[in-house]
Amino acid sequence: MDSPQTAGKQFRSLETTDRGELLDYIAPVAATIIATLVRLALEPIVGSAVPFGTYFAATIIVAWYRGFWPSAVTVALSIFAGAYYVLPRVGVDSLFGRTASATIAGFTLLGLAVSFLIDFQHRTMIRARKAETLQASIAMENARLLENTKRSEEGLRIANEELTRANRDLETFAYSASHDLREPLRTISLSAQIIERDSRKALTADALRFLDQIKTSALRMDTLLDDLLTYSRVTKIDGGAPKADASRVLTGVLENLRSQLEGAEAQIEADPLPMLEIHESSLALVFQNLISNAVKYRGKEAPRVHIAVQQQNGDFVFSVADNGLGIDEQFSEQIFNLFSRLHTKDHYPGNGMGLAICRRVVEQYGGRIWLEHSELKRGSTFCFSIPRKA
């Protein structure tokens, strides 16, 4: 099918190739010769009536098929042919007599005027026809585009539905897996404690070490299940959230982290924080993970953490800056993936879910989270945005 551009090109090319061909020059000559021959053939029947009749017909035909200028040439040639072959035969003696001049002038004027009108009419008709063709191909192209758009929209809708379903299934799976695994885990942990309590003396040093390992692993798995539950519970927020006082949320988080902060002799400073539309528990989750990481991944100096906020293009942008170990910039995206860690469990406890949880929470509110800046051994600054929604 033609695109509008192709149709446009065709339109233009038809316009230009219609006229100005070799035929434009041959047609007047041929038409004049034929008109003369016809005139001679008809003479015994029609006599002297309408001396330029056949030339007039030839002029009109040339005007229709070849345009105004070839037909003007036909008029000129016809005058020449008429003056030598027709006028003398029909009894006009002098070429320059009144009758002959009047006949020639009448034929010339009438021939040119009619040629002009016919040519004009013909061109207008051709233009209208081409415009119609162009319109039809544009309409067809539009219909095709509309059809394509509809098909893409439908595809997108189906993909969206599948994604939502897969997400829901994943959430349900993560929730039930972490929920159902807690029970056997508690039994393992409890059994290890009972064995240790009741049979401690009968156990060898190796057996005690293995028991210790069972307890530590059970504890770690418990934390992992906790985090998985938290992650799967962060679900889409529909409609507006209530107003939360970020300063109050931060105070609560610092209270929760008190023993970790005191143990590390951490200094936490915060600028005045605003009221914003978010569930307090969600904001607490983000603050808690970022501040606890800032303290956990500390360097040699006592950790110093600064929490600030700015307004940017309709968003509140919070920043949490520390003076800790820092992160190699090449991992600035990867650290937000589930279970992605840059440090081993032996040195820094954790399961690589903290930042993934933060990202999930922030994105539920239409915000985003990123590593703004980091330098190894000097510290990192994490930022997250939450839309203000007046």
One-letter amino acid identity for 1? M
Q: Which of 62, 78, 60 is nearest to 70 (CA)?
A: 62
Q: How many residues bind ligand ADP (CB under 6 A)?
A: 21
What mask of x and - would describe binding to ligand ADP in positions 338 to 357, judged by CB under 6 A?
A: --xxxx------xxxxxxx-
Residues 306-335 interacting with ligand ADP (rule: CB under 6 A): 322, 324-325, 327, 335
192 or 325: CB nearest ligand ADP: 325
Least distance CB 216 / ligand ADP (angstroms): 16
- Of the residues 297, 316, 318, 365, which one makes contact with ligand ADP according to CB under 6 A: 297
The token pair at 290 is 């970022």
- Of the residues 293, 359, 384, 386, which one makes contact with ligand ADP according to CB under 6 A: 293
Q: Is 373 in the site for ligand ADP (CB under 6 A)?
A: no
Q: State the Cα–Cα distance between residues 29 and 81, nearest whole angstrom.
A: 10
Task: Write phi, then psi, for 64 (nearest 5 degrees).
Answer: -70, -45
Contact between 48 and 63 (Cβ < 8 Å): no
Tally Cβ neighbours within 10 Å of residue 343.
13
Q: State the Cα–Cα distance between residues 62 and 369, nearest whole angstrom.
A: 78
Tally Cβ neighbours within 10 Å of residue 21.
12
One-letter amino acid identity for 227? D
Least distance CB 340 / ligand ADP (angstroms): 6
Q: Is 289 in the site for ligand ADP (CB under 6 A)?
A: yes
Which residues sit opposite 269 in a β-bridge? 306
H-helix or E-strand containing 107?
helix 98-199
- Of the residues 380, 383, 384, 385, which one makes contact with ligand ADP according to CB under 6 A: 380
Least distance CB 379 / ligand ADP (angstroms): 8
Least distance CB 220 / ligand ADP (angstroms): 11
Q: Is 303 in the site for ligand ADP (CB under 6 A)?
A: no
Applying CB under 6 A, the residues found at the interface with ligand ADP are 289, 293-294, 297, 322, 324-325, 327, 335, 340-343, 350-356, 380
